[in-house]
Amino acid sequence: MKKSLYAIFVGLMVSLSSCDDFLAVEPPTGFTSEYIYSSESEIKAALAGVYSLMLRDDAYGNRLAYVYNSNTDVEMSGIATSAANVNGGDMACFEPKPYWTTLNGTWNTMYATINLTNDIIQGIETSELYRNADKTKTSTITQMYGEAKTLRAMLYLDLIRIWGDVVFRTVPSTSEEDLLVGVTDRNEILEFLIDDLKVVEPLMFYAGELDYGVERASREFCQGLIGLLAMNRGGWTLRPNVGNPASIGYMERGENHTHYYDIAIEYLGKVIDEGRHNLTLSFEELWNRENNWSTPHNDDMIFSIPMLKNSSSQFGYYLGIPITAGTHPYGGASGNLNLNALYLYSFDNKDLRRDVTCAPYRYNERLNQEIRLDLATLPTGKWSKLKMNNPLGVSSQAGTGINFTWMRFADVLLLYAEAVNEQFGPREDAKECLKRVRRRAFESSDWSTKVDAYVDVLGNKEDFFKAIMDERKWEFGGEGIRKFDLARWNKYSEVIYQLYHDMISWGKVANGGFDPHIPDAAASVYWQNIPDPNNSDRTILDIVGINEFVHARPAGYTEHELAKKWYALDNATESYEPIPTIRWSFRGFINYNNAAQVSPTDPLRYLCPYPSKVITDHRGKIQNYYGFNY
């Protein structure tokens, strides 16, 4: 059974008041501060409360797993109308609304969690245990101190990636405190967090030395997080036009960005050089283990937010392969997180990650596969209840207990390669990091062409960066980090602009049209049922038309139209046009009405507005920009 840190200490956790009021978190009740911070076991119990808060639906138990992460050239939520969704469903098309309760819920929960970390940090700093600790060597108290600071930094980074400039507090707040504060510049926050973590990192334990391994914030996670914070500080970000709140804003790279790439190289290099993680497990086995609540401390996973079975986690339910409930023991799964169909066709046919990441099917009540593939209807296969050796039961739904993967070693390798290339070009150590990721992605018999030759030919900075962009796309599909990568690269506008036009071109070519950049397209795929080799009473799909385009139905197969449907006759206009899902899925940036006026260099509004209640509570100290000023 998966060890879950916070579950062990749930009976000892400090209690918090409701987080309905921004940052109005009352002190722990029932225990005095002196009591809590007088023993390591009580501090550990308080720290477990941080992990528990992170599991709320408004945080990593739901919203941060998928709500804030699309649309991209990987994850895609299809939007088929130009009308706003009052419940918040339009987050993906770059038109979120300040009044959506989803935004307010996430803001409050993240700050309630940060406030608890601040309380723990202050409590440890003023405790006899910490004052008397030997600061020249790692101990339980220095680990917990660093752990609280590392979790706080992670929470702030996610807030910045959603909102940009945010309220920044490093001391506990109380309900009596004057909360009329404004936001702090995101670069100032990132710089503080980097310096803060540099101090605590040497006095933290590695995951292999911790009782719950990668389910706790470890030394190597702290190192990797410093690197990621530095990559964000050195990257691009959307800035507001303060003189014109109605403007989308502009993309800007912070001053002295090369200094932060140097920091990234140093700390990501530590994770690599210390050799405590590797990519030993196959890509398929990595995710099989995740679906079975088993996470080795020395392989790919570096930090995995622990979830609780039958209580928290959308992985395997919302994120995963759809399953219709029946008499089988796996329960149901909605599989509502989708990848876009062009992503499926971007993979090399021999890339082992493709068929793990992309699952163009669903399971019916008899657990037979059925085709599920369209423009924005492609389940991610990394998570599936059917991979569970011990299913959760016939009536199970969400609450799978599958962990939230926050950082992997593959991420560290590719970030390091990117940072080195940014500073020095495609140096040999950067190439080797890229090769390490690709070796796991291909059979060893293909390494000479798909790994060595593929990487060795990358002789300049631009080509190597493009390869890093592609590799991160193929490696992390469905994990929700593509949006943040595209933003810090200042490539979001360009990628979405190209994706919009590529989808239209695929539809035209599939219907006999011509496009010089797209010579062919998957007009249809063809499928037939075949016996499941592992389950004699079930069937799986044999799908033709993914490895190569097929334009005639093979005997015995059923046609499933794909790109042929993307450019079709509109009954209202009596002309052939792109389908509504293409027209409106990116409507906050490019859509059917404005496409002729949009440029790939125009800024894309990927940030969210501050919640209306936050604006009200701060009485003029916080203001919305980016066209959210209503």
Over residues 352-362, the pLDDT tens digits come to 999 999 999 99
pLDDT tens, 510-531? 999 999 999 999 999 999 999 9
Q: What is the pLDDT of residue 8?
A: 38
Name residue, tokens 């197969």. 557
Give the pLDDT mean for 95-114: 95
Whether pTM exceeds 0.75: yes
Assess whether pLDDT exceeds 60 at residue 462.
yes
Q: pLDDT tens, 5-43?
A: 444 334 433 333 333 332 233 334 456 777 789 899 999
What's the Cα-to-Cα distance from 307 to each of 96, 109, 499, rounded to whole Å? 28, 17, 35
Q: For 205-306+406-489, CATH number?
A: 1.25.40.900
- How far apart, in whole angstroms, are the C-alpha atoms of residue 500 and residue 109? 35
What CATH number does the domain located at 39-68+99-204 have?
A: 1.25.40.890
Three-state SS annotation for 484-501: HHHHHHCCHHHHHHHHHH
In this chain, the answer to whether the domains covering 39-68+99-204 and 205-306+406-489 adopt an identical fold is yes
Give the pLDDT of residue 500: 98
User: What tokens appear for 121 in the block?
Assistant: 């940090």
Mean pLDDT of 215-226: 98
Output the six-digit token pair for 198.
């540099």
Q: Is 555 exposed, middle or buried (0-12, 13-18, 19+ CB in 10 A)?
A: exposed
Give me the mean pLDDT over the 66-87 stretch: 91
Mean of the per-residue pLDDT values for the chain? Answer: 93
The backbone torsions φ and ψ at residue 333, rounded to the nearest 5 degrees and listed phi first, read -150, 130
Pick the range with the lowest mean pLDDT from 8-12, 109-113, 319-323, 399-403. Answer: 8-12
> Average pLDDT in the 256-267 region?
98
Q: Where are the domains of the chain?
A: 39-68+99-204, 205-306+406-489, 314-405, 499-612
